[in-house]
Amino acid sequence: MIRLGEMQRLKVKRKTSVGAYLEDKYGQEVLLPSKEVSENMKVGDMIDVFIYRDSDDRLIATTKRPKIVLGEIGLLKVVDITKIGAFLDWGLEKDLFLPFKEQTMKLRKGNKYLVGLYIDKSERLCATMRIKRFLRTDSPYKQNDWVKGTIYSIDDKIGAFVAVDNKYEGLIPKKEMVGLYIPGDQLDLRVIKVKDDGKLDLSPKDKIYIQIDRDAEYILSKIKANGGVLPLNDDSSPELIRKELNMSKSAFKRAVGKLLKEGKIKFGDKGIKLSGN
């Protein structure tokens, strides 16, 4: 049968002035509009099309593949916001509707958000930001692999929920979050743990011994850029350290300890300064 929201291969049954009528193996028909019918398309040809509904709610075919199909998730741009919902650009002439009840945050026109595609009770294709049900837990990744992830939700007590490869379920635990994150951010992340249920714990940071080296170099560069002094010390608050260096206090202390041991810095009245100053 002809399946709404999916790519499928159908046969050209007949060509008319309004387009080509395609049929499945059961004889069900759908129209491919004339503007998408090529001159060399012949009756009997098998073509790949996507099935959706036009502005009059009729099933229609297109040779274009949208940015997401049924069961997939992807980052789509908001092109309009109305009282009943938003409309997203998904690569077809008719924009994709995101109902208000399927939104998980306030949207801004022009921004991109991670959404999934589903069929509503009225047999229409719609978008949803409630994508957890679309995510799988059978990823091929193991500890210390680097992956691409998109943040789709943030819980101040738990951390940032991430869609890895727009397929797999992941989480950046709160303790691993450094800096400001917002839904829609795309990040390179390291797998720090594969849980028993297959979900991934992630971190934007490298292994500790590598991260210490990087943090130490970063602190040195900040000291030099600030005229040889950085107004921080062991008693500085986590909030101030995060504001100045975008790192946690524990990471700061590890990196500073390394630099002190190497004799590259020392503490002064105004904070950390280069040893030669």
- CATH, residue 172: 2.40.50.140
The last residue of a domain, from among 167, 184, 203:
203
Low-confidence stretches of the chain (pLDDT beneath 70): 179, 207-210, 276-277
Distance of alpha carbon 251 from alpha carbon 261, whole angstroms: 16
The last residue of a domain, from among 143, 173, 203:
203
Nearest to 216 by CA among 169, 272, 134, 150: 272
Is there a contact between 265 and 274 (Cβ–Cβ < 8 Å)? yes
pLDDT at 268: 81
Dump pLDDT digits (tens) for 207-237. 666 678 888 888 999 888 988 888 888 888 8
Domain annotation covers residue 91: yes
Encoding tokens for residue 28? 């069900």
Domain annotation covers residue 187: yes
pLDDT at 277: 58
* Count of domains observed in the chain: 4
What is the SS3 assignment for 93? Answer: coil
Structural domain span for residue 168: 135-203
Q: Which H/E stretch holds residue 250?
A: helix 249-261
Same domain, 78 and 128: yes
- CATH, residue 226: 1.10.10.10
Same domain, 121 and 147: no
Domain annotation covers residue 1: no
pLDDT at 145: 94
Same domain, 104 and 156: no
Domain annotation covers residue 2: no
pLDDT at 30: 96
Q: How many CB atoms lie within 10 A of CB 40?
A: 6
Domain annotation covers residue 93: yes
